[in-house]
């Protein structure tokens, strides 16, 4: 009788323990499942945010259409630069440069240590005055200097055909460097004549130098 009651009590205790263990397992599983679902929710939300960002980046930036009412800036036309026409002619191996209002007849360069007027060798030109009409004025000009700026340098035109100086053609300077000097107004002898440049220095150890000498003819 006592053993049968003890067995029944042990059986009931075993069943109760089994029920408690089963409930505990069910609760644990339920809790694990809930925790797992909570862990998955943020990941899902982050995935949605990433997708949204990608969609925003991939959206093309609208390009504004040109304003049809805007007036285009006109491009300025190039300005034409006027050119001056010159003509040349040769007189005894010398080039005569002529503009619409002036004629320049080059003669040449030279130097001397003479203390009185002396011809500069080869510095000459032959002219036919009848070829030039409508003359307003004529001048002799040259870059004149005296070496070291010591003393004075003088120069003039000389008509070797008629054997006389060209009146009022004298120029002078004490400049150590080339200084453009222009004579008073002169006249050319009629017909064909050869004009030579003469020069001298007041101190023979310091030469008188003549360069780019020429006759300037101004036209009316």
Residue 204 maps to a domain: yes
Same-domain status, 102 and 186: yes
Question: How many Å apart are CA 125 and CA 159, to the nearest integer?
Answer: 10
Give the domain extent around 162.
87-219
| pLDDT attached to residue 30 | 78
User: Residue 204 maps to which CATH number?
Assistant: 2.60.120
Q: How many domains does the chain have?
A: 2
Same-domain status, 156 and 52: no
DSSP character string of 113-128: --SS-EEEEEEEEEEE
- Residue closest to 170 by CA, chosen among 136, 133, 208: 208
8 A C-beta contact, residue 182 and residue 173: no
Residue 81 maps to a domain: no
How large a percentage of the chain has pLDDT more than 70? 70
Among 80-84, 122-126, 139-143, the least confident range:
80-84
| pLDDT attached to residue 41 | 53
| pLDDT attached to residue 95 | 65
Which is more confident, 189 or 38?
189
| pLDDT attached to residue 12 | 83
Same-domain status, 41 and 108: no
Containing 46, the helix (H) or strand (E) segment is helix 2-57
Residue 82 maps to a domain: no
Question: How many Å apart are CA 12 and CA 194, to the nearest integer?
Answer: 160
Same-domain status, 50 and 134: no
Please give the mean pLDDT across all residues of the chain. 79
| pLDDT attached to residue 65 | 54
Residue 68 maps to a domain: no
Same-domain status, 103 and 160: yes
Confidence (pTM): 0.56
Partners of 79 in the β-ladder = none
pLDDT category, 34, cuts 50, 70, 90? confident
Q: Is the pLDDT of residue 16 over 70?
A: yes
Residue 134 maps to a domain: yes
| pLDDT attached to residue 156 | 98
Q: How many CB atoms lie within 10 A of CB 118?
A: 17
Residue 74 maps to a domain: no
- Quick: pLDDT tens for 41-79: 544 444 444 444 444 444 445 545 545 454 555 544 444
- Quick: pLDDT tens for 159-207: 999 999 999 999 999 999 988 999 999 999 999 999 999 999 999 999 9
Residue 66 maps to a domain: no
Same-domain status, 150 and 191: yes
Give how far Cα 219 sits from Cα of 113, 122, 136, Å: 36, 28, 5
How confident is the model over 131-141, as a mean pLDDT?
A: 94
Containing 166, the helix (H) or strand (E) segment is none
């Amino acid at each position: 009788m006592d053993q049968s009651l003890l067995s029944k009590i042990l059986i009931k205790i075993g069943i109760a323990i089994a029920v408690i263990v089963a409930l505990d397992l069910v609760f644990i599983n339920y809790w694990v499942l809930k925790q797992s679902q909570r862990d998955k929710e943020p990941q899902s939300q982050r995935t949605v945010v990433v997708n949204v960002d990608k969609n925003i980046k991939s959206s093309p930036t609208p390009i504004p259409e040109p304003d049809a009412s805007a007036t285009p800036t006109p491009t300025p036309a190039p300005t034409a630069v006027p050119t001056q026409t010159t003509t040349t002619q040769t007189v005894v191996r010398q080039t005569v440069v002529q503009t619409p209002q002036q004629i320049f007849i080059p003669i040449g360069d030279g130097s001397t240590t003479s203390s009185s007027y002396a011809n500069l060798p080869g510095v000459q030109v032959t002219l036919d005055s009848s070829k030039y009409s409508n003359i307003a004025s004529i001048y002799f000009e040259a870059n004149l200097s005296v070496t070291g700026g010591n003393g004075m340098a003088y120069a003039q035109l000389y008509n070797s055909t008629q054997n006389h100086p060209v009146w009022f053609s004298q120029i002078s300077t004490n400049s150590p460097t080339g200084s453009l000097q222009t004579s008073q107004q002169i006249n050319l002898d009629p017909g064909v004549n050869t004009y030579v440049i003469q020069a001298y220095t007041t101190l023979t150890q310091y030469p008188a130098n003549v360069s780019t000498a020429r006759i300037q003819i101004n036209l009316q």
